[in-house]
Chains A and B, each alone.
Chain A
Amino acid sequence: MQSAETGDSPWHEIVVETLKANDVRLATYVPDNVLSPLIRGLHADQAFTTFCCTREEEAVGIATGSWMGGMLGVVLMQTSGFATLPNVLASLAVPFQIPLIMIISERGTLGEFNLGQAMVCRTMRPGLDSMGIEHHTIRRIDEVEFFVERTVRQAVSTQAPAALILNPFLTGGKSEKKAN
Chain B
Amino acid sequence: MSEPATNRTKVMNRADLTRRLVGMLDDDAVIGGIGWTNFELWGAGRRPENFYMLGSMGLALPIALGVAIAQPQRRVIALEGDGSLLMQLGVLGTIAARRQKNLLMIIWDNGAYQITGGQPSTTASVVDLVAIARASGLEKAFWADDEAHFETLVDRARREDGPFLIAAKIDDQRPKTTTHRDPVQIRQHFMQGLGVRTDPHAA
Contacts and interface: CB of A to CB of B under 8 A. Distances in A.
A interacts with B: yes
Interface of A: 26, 49, 51-55, 57-71, 73, 87-88, 90-92, 95-98
B69 A62 contact: yes
Contacts of A49: 69
B135 to A, nearest CB: 14
Nearest to A85: B56
Interface stretch (B12-20, B86-94, B149-157, B164-172): B86-94
A58 B184 contact: no
Given A26-B69, A87-B55, 16 more contacts: A26-B66, A26-B70, A51-B94, A53-B90, A58-B90, A61-B63, A62-B63, A65-B62, A68-B51, A68-B63, A69-B194, A70-B196, A87-B56, A88-B55, A91-B54, A96-B186
B194 A57 contact: no
Contacts of A95: 54-55, 183-184
Interface of B: 29, 31, 51, 53-59, 61-71, 88, 90-91, 93-94, 97-98, 183-184, 186-187, 190-191, 194-196
A92 to B, nearest CB: 4
B196 A68 contact: yes
Nearest to B88: A58
Of B58, B69, B93, B191, most buried by chain A (CB within 10 Å of CB) is B69
B67 A54 contact: no
Contacts of B184: 95-97
A30 B93 CA distance: 14
Contacts of B67: 65-66, 68-69
A95 B94 CA distance: 26
Contact of A71 (B57, B70, B183, B195): B70
Given A69-B70, A70-B70, A91-B56, A54 B63 contact: no
A54 to B, nearest CB: 3
